[in-house]
Structure 1
Amino acid sequence: MLYPPNSADKLGFTEIKELIKTHCLSVMGQQMVDKIGVMTNYDQVVKFLNQANEFKNILQNDDALPINHFYDIKSLANKARIEGAFLSEEEFFQVQASLTTVFGVIAYFNERVGVYPNLEALFEHLPIEKAIIRKIDQVIDPKGKIRHNASRELLEITSGIAKAEQEARRKIDQIFKNAAANNWTADGSLTIRDGRLCIPMLAENKRKVKGFVHDESASGQTVYLEPEEVFTLNNRIRDLEFDRRREIIKIFTALTDELRPYVPLLLSYHGLLTKLDFVRAKALFAIDIEAEMPKVVNEAKLKLFNARHPLLYLNFKKEQKTVVPLNMSIDDGTRIIVVSGPNAGGKSVCMKTVGLLQMMVQAGLLIPASADSVAGVFKQLFVDIGDDQSIESDLSTYSAHLSKMKNFVENANGKTMVLIDEFGTGTDPQFGGPIAEAVLEALNHKKVRGMVTTHYSNLKIFASNTEGIENASMLFNNTEMQPLYMLEVGKPGSSYAFEIAQKIGLPQNVLNLARNKISAGQKKVDSLLVDLEREKKEIIDTKQKLNKQQQRVNTLLAENEELKTFLDENRKNLIREAKQEAKDIILNANRLVENTIAEIKSSNADKEVTKALRDTLNVEVKKNTIKAEQPKTVVKVDEEIKPGDWVKLIDSDTTGQVMEVIKDNVVLAMGELRTVVKKKRVEKVSRSAVPKEQRRSSNVSTGDIASFSPEIDVRGMRTEDALHAIEKLFDRALMMGYGNLKILHGKGDGILRKMIRQYLKKYEQVDRMEDEHPDRGGDGITYVYLK
């Protein structure tokens, strides 16, 4: 139940329906959109939401549905139902095109059985009766025209017309040439008059050729004459055309009689087309507003994450602005939210967003909010927004509000959502405040859910002391005197009346006079609220910075953990290989010694043989002896250290390659490890002084650079996810010394492109940003050049 009846207009739901109608392909679809209303049956709500979500998935991720034609075949079927009636050539073509669409859609879903169950339910058990199309195809061609061979009689008549027209044309051409040769004709060529082909003759020569004058020029000097012989032929053509018309009616009547038994099936096909057009329009609108399907529960609750007002989103999208997202929750613990804060701070928009999105969910429409949002089903939706005073009903503004409050208190229950804007206004605040507080207490006693906006301090105090009611405020930057349009649940907000008045330019003496007229207690409360908001804003900013830093720390920890795992695995492999190699050497040595002793014995210790065997043994010993490497001389170079140079830590023998120089620090690559040290702790060495193995390892590690791609595709990602991914890529590019990045963000409305560029401008390492060449993507791709 929706009260009052004009609540849909107040919340903007009527505008939503008009926007959906623009996506419909047929009048039937538009009529179905007009019937959209708030449903209270949980199963129905879920079914309609799933249908829209599945169609949205098809439009974004699957092959296109074969939807080309939508015609009102219901009216055609009802016409064909009448005995003796027949469909026209155009009407048969509409039936043919519509059925082609229907059968194409059914075949599309038959190829994807189980993938879109809610859409499949639209045509469940609906047969594909191709006999209808075959019968029409025998008469109507693909262009929607009757076939010349639709019947033997029609073919003969059509051939007769063609021959007679050819003969008439030949005859009139012959007469025209003869008259022109005798200079009887006026300037010009053969022309049509009264549907007849005529010869333009000079008026003085009109008696030279027998025939019928159909017209004359304005000056009377030229007459348009149809020769007598041609007149007879044209009459014959006219008679044949009448015969053709009668034969076509006969064919269409017979074809309509054949289709009459299929009328009920045609009506079912019409229903499917209408529903498809309707669901398709809802899905296209959902894509326009970047809507998602929330989790739906059969309870009276609502939890919104990153929610946006759809109409505000579309307006801002045209102006390339972004809407501040709304996060709020109404459940058993927090039933009613009392929103306070400055004028023009967004209180009403916040409340309208809540009401409109709840209406959209219960109307089966996807909403512009995170898919993690939770939406319940309310049995009643009561709205008090705007001024409903009525001269006819003798209702003042406040009387109209009280009339609604009476209805709310009497009829609301635990499954009712109540939305009240500027609660208690319209009368003396001294009395309006207590009445509003009493109404709020009565609604809370009935476990009603909802949101109200107010400036009354007594309502803020009541909310802070009452279970089930929660204060909330619209944040305000009291330094710049600008609203932030962010809802903060948990504390009331100041109206900033004096601050806004001062910004507007109200004289200071007037402001001082006003301050002196309010009580000291009220001053203290308002100042406290202002200070609380300022502190809250500072906490939020600090929290955002900490979250960002934490994300970077987590990334570095993950990379370090990965590096540690890699080094541990390498160490184990090296030890395993070394042990195996040592074992092989020992076995070979034992075998060689035993063979040498045996040969010495067999030669009776012959000196020559023994010497030769000893030489062989020494050769093998030298082969398996590890030579101690001579320490390589470190060549000190006084040149400035730059990226790519090799350096050695002064207090150890560790060497590494410089990846980046940042003021007094250098970023070193030592194998897979990256570290930052002070310039004064390293000294430059020549490349030849670095062991080959380390250079090779560095090349492998810079293979990390080679394998690293300075290109990222963020199309289809949410703004926060895209910025996080770009930040990660940016950090790695800086660490590896890359000069530029390529970001694929797509064109769309340019919002993602704008947000990315604004985000990257804050980094001093960014030199400039440019669009890709128009032939290769244009402003759908951004190149970022680093200093």
Structure 2
Amino acid sequence: MDEVTRKRLEFDRIIGFAQQFCLSDMGRDRLGEVSARGFVDGLHMELERVLELKNFLLEGHSLLFPVLPDTRRLLKKLGTVDAYLEPLELLDVHDLLQASSLLRTFMFRNRTLYPSVNDLTVRLWLEKSLQYEIKRIVDEQGRVMDTASDGLLQIRNELREGREVLRRKMERVLRRCQENGWLMEDTVAMKNGRLVLGLRVEYKYKLPGYIQDYSQTGQTVFIEPAEVLELHNRLQDLELAERREIERILRQMSSHIREELDNVLHNQDVMSEFDSLYGRARFAVDTGSVLPALENGGRLRIVRGYHPWLLITHRSRDEEVYPLDMELSEEERVLVISGPNAGGKSVAMKSVGLLCAMLLHGFLVPCHESSVFPLFDDIAIGIGDEQSIENDLSTFSSHLEQVRSILDAATPSTLVLIDELCSGTDVEEGSAIARAIIEELLAIGVKAVVTTHLGELKAYAHEREGVINGAMEFDRSSLSPSFRFIKGLPGSSFAFAMMQRLGFSEVLVQRAESFLDRESAGFDAMLDDLKTVLDENRRLREDLESERRDLEVRKRELSVREGELRLRKQELRQSVSREVQKEVELARKQIRKIVHEVKASPGVGKVEDARRRLQAMRSDAAVGTEAAMKVAEVSSAEDLSVSPGDMVRVLTTNTTGEVVSVDGDTVVVQCGTFRLTTSSGNVEKTSRKKVRRIERGESGSSGGPGWSARASSLESNRLDLRGLTGDEAVSEIERFIDKLRMNRIGTATIIHGKGTGALRLRITEYLKNNRYVKRFRLGEWSEGGAGVTVIEL
């Protein structure tokens, strides 16, 4: 793809926009130099790397190095034997090596996520000693540190001491001059690199020393006092020694880098390549670009594709950009797009070319992932309205010259784009030339997209195998283009509608229409009728497709729900089975105990008591079995969901209460004065009327305690007494302690709140005298503080 094509497609603008996302100038230059390459020449790998880096960014990662220095000039400088790097240049080398190490290490650790990028970064030279040496001698501000060498440390210590002595001496001389009134300025100044005092000119011989300068008015003389002359000279010698030592250190460090120059240059090359990929990945994130399917054949399928530059520029102005949907089979070699002026023909054609060009240069493209693009070796474009003044060519001559160049260079792997084919000349002759050009394109075997207004060319495209019509839709009701591409139909120019839109009088428009031959008018009317039918079919297909997608979603949801309910049913059966086994074992123990008591002390009273107890156990078992059966009969069609405030019955305990909270599959139920925590599958909704019947014992079982005896088991060791009187609280505590003992729970929490403290005192009084309470205390801060009492049985 030559420079002219890049410019006509506005591909250079895409490159320029993507360059701003690179980290360094060398990455930006590398991106600007990117050239098209074939699928087998590394394009697939390059696109995979850009895609992996895009995912890297979308996953919230960021590079461990915020900038990447451009080291090309300074490394080239090291090619000269006597050259050495300045401190800031050494820091750039350090940052390049550090960035290389960090990137290589990160990508290697995450090579399963970013395998293609790792294939590139694993080639980086992993080096630590040079980084360490550079940081040992140069600080973050680019200053050679005192510790760079023992000699430099000694020189700088002497410099500091000498400057301190000089400062004290100058201050003494300054005070003496001030006392004598000799000074024009009451400060120490610097002239010619020496510290001086500004004296009035008439007192210049009062102070022994060396005259360094005069003021512009000649009224002030700047004198270096004689007593600091020798010290100044000594400091100058030390400063010269410092510069020489620094230069020696820099030369030595540069020599070490020069020894590894090939490796450093290799890292520079890999990092610049990575930077160009990184810039393209950030561009993809910014524009919502994806990697479509790529094929070696000629099939083209663009789904919701956008002209990238329009997407970028219109977004900044908050203007809508219309997507392009287009599909051409491998046999459909040439697409002829027709339609109104300013209706989007040229934009659609250029969109195809620009998207293909981006892919060939390693860019992801703004379209849907289901799109399919063929791979071309080259792209050629001809613009119909260009003129060549310097070659003295008219518009049409310039156009034919472009087409000739395209035909001469085209191969079966070339994408050809021609805007307004053979416009600007006699319609009949232009149509004939256009047909001949398309025949030549078919003979070469290219894929081509051309735009036209020529009616004969539309008819030719309808009849010729391998050529297909396409139109840009026009909305007659609003007299404006809709920018939607329609395959298989030629488009009308809608010139008369455009006249109406632009404000021409109705009389003039009708007069123009009267000059149009009836055959042409009938053809346009037929196109309108056909378009209406196609639009209706399209809407029906879209409605059917929408309904199909909705049904698919509903089907998947029902399938998931059915699976969840089936699993929940299985879990409930297992849970009920375990509960029943526990109850059976408990019943066996009680029966053995009753039999033992009767044998130990036979008598009518004992036997009658044993009979009543066994009858109660049978009732318990009947109700328990009924609850278990209800749990087991949960079907996949039931709505088992409950919400806070619902009245429910806990199936395994036959207790009722109000749902306090729901967290996933966990439900907390307030049952009287205590709370149960259970699974959502172990509760069923019930009305408040039914709850009252159950609370009165009207559950359908025969009299006696029934399954309610199971309620003595606890699923919570917390008792909330807030809002109760002292007597009510004591009654609740008695029942609560009994249940704790029956369930062998040793520690529990009583919640009474802080309030006035009256309820807490009453509870404390009761607990002191309860023989089952071993000890009790107020809660810790994390347990509820003075609002709770923790008891131990």
Structure 2 length-normalised TM: 0.71
In structure 2, the partner of 1:169 is 167
In structure 2, the partner of 1:148 is 146
Farther off after superposition, 220-229 or 10-19: 220-229
In structure 1, the partner of 2:690 is none
Higher-Rg member (1/2):
2
Q: Equivalent of 2:208, from 207, 210, 231?
A: 210
Q: Equivalent of 1:32, from 1, 8, 30?
A: 30
In structure 1, the partner of 2:14 is 16
In structure 2, the partner of 1:113 is 111
| Cα shift readout 1:432-456 (whole Å, capped 9, x = no counterpart) | 1122122213322433212111122
In structure 2, the partner of 1:446 is 444
Q: Equivalent of 1:526, from 512, 524, 527?
A: 524
Secondary structure of the corresponding residue to residue 149 of structure 1: helix
Asked if the contact 1:295/1:373 (under 8 Å) is kept, the reply is: yes
1:342 counterpart = 2:340: yes
In structure 1, the partner of 2:126 is 128
In structure 1, the partner of 2:327 is 329
Deviation of the 1:354 alpha carbon? 0.5
Question: In structure 2, how many angstroms separate the alpha carbons of the residues matched to 1:375 and 1:148?
Answer: 62
Question: In structure 2, how many angstroms separate the alpha carbons of the residues matched to 1:442 and 1:575?
Answer: 77
In structure 2, the partner of 1:43 is 41
- Structure 1 residues 672-751: aligned runs within 5 Å: none
Letter in 1 for 2:208: K
Asked if the contact 1:65/1:108 (under 8 Å) is kept, the reply is: no
Secondary structure of the corresponding residue to residue 389 of structure 2: coil
In structure 2, the partner of 1:460 is 458
Letter in 2 for 1:26: S
Q: Equivalent of 2:239, from 231, 238, 241?
A: 241
By relative contact order (CA 8 Å, sep 6+), the higher-ranking structure is 1
In structure 2, the partner of 1:663 is none
Question: In structure 2, how many angstroms separate the alpha carbons of the residues matched to 1:407 and 1:303?
Answer: 28
Q: Count the aligned residue pairs.
A: 640
Deviation of the 1:382 alpha carbon? 2.0
| Cα shift readout 1:563-583 (whole Å, capped 9, x = no counterpart) | 7778889999999989x99xx
Asked if the contact 2:384/2:395 (under 8 Å) is kept, the reply is: no
Letter in 1 for 2:69: Y
Asked if the contact 1:671/1:697 (under 8 Å) is kept, the reply is: no
Question: In structure 2, how many angstroms separate the alpha carbons of the residues matched to 1:104 and 1:610?
Answer: 86
Question: In structure 2, how many angstroms separate the alpha carbons of the residues matched to 1:70 and 1:102?
Answer: 10
Asked if the contact 2:24/2:69 (under 8 Å) is kept, the reply is: yes
In structure 2, the partner of 1:398 is 396
Question: In structure 2, how many angstroms separate the alpha carbons of the residues matched to 1:15 and 1:254?
Answer: 45
Farther off after superposition, 273-282 or 63-72: 63-72
| Cα shift readout 1:325-356 (whole Å, capped 9, x = no counterpart) | 21223341222221112211111111111001
Secondary structure of the corresponding residue to residue 121 of structure 1: helix
Secondary structure of the corresponding residue to residue 302 of structure 2: strand
Asked if the contact 1:475/1:486 (under 8 Å) is kept, the reply is: yes
Deviation of the 1:17 alpha carbon? 1.5
Q: Equivalent of 1:182, from 180, 183, 190?
A: 180
Question: In structure 1, how many angstroms separate the alpha carbons of the residues matched to 2:510 and 2:157?
Answer: 100
The structure-2 alpha-carbon separation of the partners of 1:406 and 1:619, relative to structure 1 and needing over 3 Å to count, comes to closer
- Structure 1 residues 205-604: aligned runs within 5 Å: 205-552=203-550, 554-555=552-553
Asked if the contact 1:493/1:530 (under 8 Å) is kept, the reply is: no
In structure 1, the partner of 2:696 is none
Question: In structure 2, how many angstroms separate the alpha carbons of the residues matched to 1:573 and 1:146?
Answer: 72
Asked if the contact 2:54/2:281 (under 8 Å) is kept, the reply is: yes
Structure 1 length-normalised TM: 0.72
The structure-2 alpha-carbon separation of the partners of 1:82 and 1:619, relative to structure 1 and needing over 3 Å to count, comes to closer
Question: In structure 1, how many angstroms separate the alpha carbons of the residues matched to 2:476 and 2:222?
Answer: 88
Letter in 2 for 1:464: H
Provide structure 1 residue ranges, at least 5 long, that are not aligned to the other structure.
Answer: 627-668, 675-686, 709-787
Question: In structure 1, how many angstroms separate the alpha carbons of the residues matched to 2:135 and 2:639?
Answer: 74
Secondary structure of the corresponding residue to residue 255 of structure 1: helix
In structure 1, the partner of 2:693 is none
CA RMSD of aligned residues (A): 4.1
In structure 2, the partner of 1:763 is none
Deviation of the 1:360 alpha carbon? 0.8
Deviation of the 1:476 alpha carbon? 1.9
Deviation of the 1:38 alpha carbon? 2.1
Question: In structure 1, how many angstroms separate the alpha carbons of the residues matched to 2:160 and 2:658?
Answer: 84
Provide structure 2 residue ranges, at least 5 long, that are not aligned to the other structure.
Answer: 624-636, 668-793
Question: In structure 2, how many angstroms separate the alpha carbons of the residues matched to 1:82 and 1:298?
Answer: 49
Question: In structure 1, how many angstroms separate the alpha carbons of the residues matched to 2:261 and 2:114?
Answer: 28
Deviation of the 1:528 alpha carbon? 2.0
The structure-2 alpha-carbon separation of the partners of 1:696 and 1:453, relative to structure 1 and needing over 3 Å to count, comes to farther
The structure-2 alpha-carbon separation of the partners of 1:573 and 1:515, relative to structure 1 and needing over 3 Å to count, comes to same
Secondary structure of the corresponding residue to residue 189 of structure 1: strand
In structure 1, the partner of 2:69 is 71
Asked if the contact 2:108/2:122 (under 8 Å) is kept, the reply is: no
Deviation of the 1:286 alpha carbon? 1.8
In structure 2, the partner of 1:653 is none
Question: In structure 1, how many angstroms separate the alpha carbons of the residues matched to 2:543 and 2:223?
Answer: 93
Secondary structure of the corresponding residue to residue 148 of structure 2: coil
Question: In structure 2, how many angstroms separate the alpha carbons of the residues matched to 1:353 and 1:672?
Answer: 54
The structure-2 alpha-carbon separation of the partners of 1:217 and 1:334, relative to structure 1 and needing over 3 Å to count, comes to same
The structure-2 alpha-carbon separation of the partners of 1:28 and 1:562, relative to structure 1 and needing over 3 Å to count, comes to closer
The structure-2 alpha-carbon separation of the partners of 1:214 and 1:616, relative to structure 1 and needing over 3 Å to count, comes to closer
Question: In structure 2, how many angstroms separate the alpha carbons of the residues matched to 1:246 and 1:621?
Answer: 106
Deviation of the 1:485 alpha carbon? 1.2
Asked if the contact 2:384/2:422 (under 8 Å) is kept, the reply is: no
Letter in 1 for 2:238: L
Deviation of the 1:363 alpha carbon? 0.9
Deviation of the 1:96 alpha carbon? 2.0
